[in-house]
Copies of this chain bind each other. A is one copy, B any other.
Amino acid sequence: MADPTAPAPRRRPTILDVAAAAGVSKGLVSKVLSGSAGPSAATTKRVLAVAERLGYRKDRNATLLAKKRTRLIGVTIQPSNVYQGELAEEIQSTVDAAGYETVLGAMTATHDERRAIETLIDFRCEALLLLGPTMPEAELAALVEDVPTVCVGRPLNLPGVDVVRADDQQGISDVVDHLVALGHRRIAHVDGGPGPISAVRREAYQAAVLRHGLEAVVLPGGLTERHGAEALRHLDSGAGVTAVVAFNDRTALGLIEALESGGLRVPADMSVTGFDDSLMARHPRMALTTVSQLTLEQARLAVQAATDRLDGVHQERREILLPTRLIVRGSTGLSPR
């Protein structure tokens, strides 16, 4: 019951179709389409017109297979993470400008970091940008052994892997100085849980309070509002704490929520600080004192590090620390005692 008037199941045109329609060889078409010098102006024009008319598009898989270099840079990302999203967007633009292309490898519940990285390698990416990788270092080392890799946003000490991240230590140190200047003498820290960034901030906190001759009080925490709220339970053991340095903005906001629902005022009874300078921190109702990172700059430098390696500019391992900036808002005030 075939309908003779129905259009043939339109096979997507190949380079051969274009070549035939333009009356040239496929080799010439390839040269025209990749913009290499050689083809005459007349041929170029004709081929381009035919390709356009046929709605021709190169098959990317075939192209990449045939090419010696792919000029592909793979980026792992957790799509639901706002910071990584912003990073990825800037990375994409920078990579574009550098004459490379990006491939995103999403990490989700069913698709862990290892799989994401493997997929990117399978695409024959020439370099990898890992946004806040969480894999065990040894595994990661084995996985990216043969491909230039840049780790963004967390410390990582692997031979061939460049690192670009914010100077968290400086950021936390500034926060503590700020609180001390306000007269606080008992300053606690809500931890970010396991993970290398938490460790950096925790240690920075400990070093900073020690420097001021104060005692370190570390409360178990995590990355989200819930963890911040729960940290309060550990706080109320009457230790006389008047200020809390939270791991990040979300943790801080969760803590504030819990404090206020318990009848305490911020900052009158308790000062609280965050980290990230997120959108929420900026709203006057929140007015969170926090630390701002140069996110876009991180993206640019990470791409730079990768392309520099690919272009043979540098060989040795690089670790780039970007400055942070303390943003003082209304969640911190003079110590009540």
CA distance A58 to B61 in the complex (A): 13
Inside 8 A of A84's CB, which chain B residues have their CB? 79
Q: Does the CB pair A106–B122 fall under 8 Å?
A: no
CA distance A26 to B10 in the complex (A): 33
Known contacts A89-B108, A92-B111, A61 near B97 by CB under 8 Å: no
The interface on chain A, measured as residues whose beta carbon lies within 8 A of the other chain's beta carbons, has a size of 54
Taken together, the copies of this chain in the complex come to: 2
Inside 8 A of A89's CB, which chain B residues have their CB? 78-80, 106, 108-109
Mask of A58-77 contacts with B, CB within 8 angstroms, 1/0: 11111011000010000001
Known contacts A57-B121, A119-B60, A85 near B93 by CB under 8 Å: no
CA distance A313 to B336 in the complex (A): 68
Q: Does the CB pair B106–A88 fall under 8 Å?
A: yes
Q: How many whole Å from A85's CB to the nearest CB in chain B?
A: 4
Binds B, one of A29-37, A171-179, A206-214, A282-290: A282-290
Q: Does the CB pair A286–B285 fall under 8 Å?
A: yes
Interface: A110 (CB within 8 A):
yes
Inside 8 A of A261's CB, which chain B residues have their CB? 284
| Contact of A88 (CB < 8 Å), options: B79, B102, B118, B146 | B79
Interface: A256 (CB within 8 A):
yes
Most buried by B among A12, A59, A60: A60
CA distance A60 to B120 in the complex (A): 9
CA distance A99 to B279 in the complex (A): 37
CA distance A131 to B77 in the complex (A): 17
Q: Does the CB pair A122–B88 fall under 8 Å?
A: no
Q: Does the CB pair B80–A109 fall under 8 Å?
A: no
Mask of A246-273 contacts with B, CB within 8 angstroms, 1/0: 0000100100110011000000000000
Interface: A203 (CB within 8 A):
no
Name A10's closest neighbour in chain B (CB-CB): B146
| Contact of A61 (CB < 8 Å), options: B65, B85, B104, B260 | B65
Q: Which residues of A contact B (CB under 8 A)?
A: 10, 12, 57-62, 64-65, 70, 77-82, 84-86, 88-90, 92-93, 96-97, 102, 104, 106, 108-111, 118-119, 121-124, 146, 225, 250, 253, 256-257, 260-261, 279-280, 283-286
